A and B are shown apart, each in its own frame.
Chain A
Amino acid sequence: MTQKTSAEHSPAAFYNADALPPVQTRRERLSAFSTDDLNPVSSRSAEWRFSPLDRIENLTSGERDGSDVPAAYDITGAASVAHVPMSDPLIGRCGRPEEVASALAWHDTKNALIITASAQDASEVWITRDALGLSARAGHTVIDVAPFAKTTIVFDNRGDAMLSENVEIHVGESAQVVVVSLQQWNHGAVHLASHFCRIAANASLTHAVITLGGGVTRINPTAHLAENAGSATLLGLYTADAGSHIESQVFVNHDAPNTVSRVSYKGALRGAGARTVWIGDVLIGREATGTDSYEQNRNLILAEGARADSVPNLEIETGDIVGAGHASATGRFDGEQLFYLRSRGITEHEARQLVVRGFLNEVLAMVPVPRVQAIVHDALDEALEEVSA
């Protein structure tokens, strides 16, 4: 079954199917540091109802190793990394856990990784995490961006993982920040993450989650547009294989005047039984006059038995906005596109690859990190070699 909801026009290739029950309003979502104050991990709670609970048990109950998450750092420009105790005042400025895995990770982590970017010079921090192993871990990262700083932070995630983490992204006034979480995990990897982003006045954040490999990957970014004229672009790109579950619960909280958000998540489900979930909540609060907001999720189903759930949700508490739109579409190949390409001599196989790449390129082109683009291009070449459905 496929589905489409849209507040705007979208291509005819996508079509409607069964509607989903409404989600609990985002305003009322619980947040707490104690798991007792949060909804239980159950297929009946809004936070977990789409997740494969049996595969993430090690991160939602029991104990995790809270020592430093092994990583290599490649730093250029005015940035530095350090570890500090979880009691440090830099921690907890951007948000609070909204679900049990996040609260447990917060509790289990001994020291947080602090990445500091100053305004002296543009900076880039490339964090390679390729030696985590399969034992359950918890981690906490704070990306602390000074006012007027320009920085790019990339998490380059590979190998095995059983990781639950919180990432706080504190974007100072007028700063320009790019954060990429790139997952090329092994098949068995499990990765749960909450990214709490707080965006100050006139600052802009581009946040991208790119998942090309892994078992269960659930990365949930929240962008809190807390001050005047902040902007957030939240991007997602994923290819889901047989057996993979890729989930993205995206929340944009317009909480100040003249804030701008763009959410664009696109995925190709290329393995039999692949599963993706996208929940896009946008809250435009009473203070958020002049908000300009648009969110979209599009999925291309390339294999039998693959399933994409896509749930946009818009709550508007003020009438005085510039715009708020959403689109969600899930479908198979557009026959007319394939016909057009083939009528120019291009084989069916190559036509399919062109269409899928084009579909995903639209998001990749917006990730302003050439090295990430190059890695993803190469990975897609390989991944799409056997696309056929």
Chain B
Amino acid sequence: MSTLTITDLHVTVETENGPLEILRGVDMVINSGETHAVMGPNGSGKSTLAYTIAGHPKYTVTKGSIDFDGQDVLAMSVDERARSGLFLAMQYPVEIPGVAVSNFLRTAKTAIDGQAPPIRTWVKDVKQSMSEMRMDPSFGERSVNEGFSGGEKKRHEIVQLDLLKPKMAVLDETDSGLDVDALRVVSEGVNRVKEETGLGVLLITHYTRILRYIKPDFVHVFVNGRIAEEGGPALADRLEAEGYDRFTETADA
């Protein structure tokens, strides 16, 4: 049983005109096995939250804390966070020319586990994971994310989720850019990992469609760097019907 606790999180980014506050006091508690959906308008700070959990150097935490099973996440380096069991499926996965996917996956697995995976089972696991995500085995020879279509990049993120077996995963708009079949395949992949490992999920999305496959326990509405409202799955349907006007108006006031 793991718990990720985010308390009064304030985050700034550096701009030409000095630091700009993006997150303005975020609180959230995610336990193993739970799925938390985060929805909210463009620019409200959802990716900022995701990147801050993962430790992207662009973001500065000015106040608050992130605790993962008693460890101070903010004191850990990016790779330490990953090795402690945190995972971020990125909204825009990065291309790394010349580094083959198979080499990358093996290197990451070795780093996370602290030892190289047994070669036989590993090759089999990779093959199976890729085929479940409908990725042709030839992707293993290609450079990481280079020339991948938008949907292929997202499926590659979930292959990594499946193989690296983290305790907590942040999925930042993993559903954007997926065709209907891929959406189902990816959702099934996430659900399978959840079942196998009791993964906790923070799922950032704009659409309720994915929430029909990956059932959220909680829905958080993100507006202007804060959680404006929280509720159960029904809240997502209401957002889809009504939009965010109700929240943005109060936020601006």
**Chain A interfacial positions (CB closer than 8 Å to B):** 11, 334-337, 339-348, 350-351, 354-355, 357-362, 365
Contact = CB atoms under 8 A, between A and B. Distances in A.
Contact of A361 (B55, B90, B98, B108): B98
A361 B111 CA distance: 22
B232 to A, nearest CB: 31
Nearest to B98: A358
A346 B96 contact: no
Given A342-B82, A347-B79, A354 B108 contact: no
Interface of B: 54-57, 77-79, 81-83, 87-88, 90, 93-99, 103-104, 107-108, 111-112, 143-144, 160, 164
A341 B96 contact: yes
Given A340-B93, A344-B111, A354 B104 contact: yes
Contacts of A341: 96, 104, 108
Contacts of B81: 343
B112 A345 contact: yes
Contacts of A351: 79
Contacts of B97: 11, 358-359, 362
A336 B93 CA distance: 9
Given A339-B56, A339-B57, A343-B54, A348 B79 contact: yes
A362 B143 CA distance: 10
B78 A339 contact: yes
B94 A345 contact: no
Given A336-B94, A337-B94, A346 B99 contact: no
Most buried by A among B56, B79, B93, B112: B79
A362 B104 CA distance: 15
A355 B96 CA distance: 7
Contact of B98 (A334, A343, A344, A362): A362
Contact of B108 (A336, A337, A344, A358): A344
A344 B96 contact: no
Contacts of A359: 97-98
Contacts of B96: 337, 340-341, 354-355, 358
B93 A345 contact: no
Nearest to A298: B97
A348 B77 contact: yes
B83 A345 contact: yes
Given A335-B57, A337-B94, A354-B104, A344 B99 contact: no
B105 to A, nearest CB: 9
Given A350-B111, A358-B143, A342 B78 contact: yes
Contacts of A336: 94
A102 B175 CA distance: 61
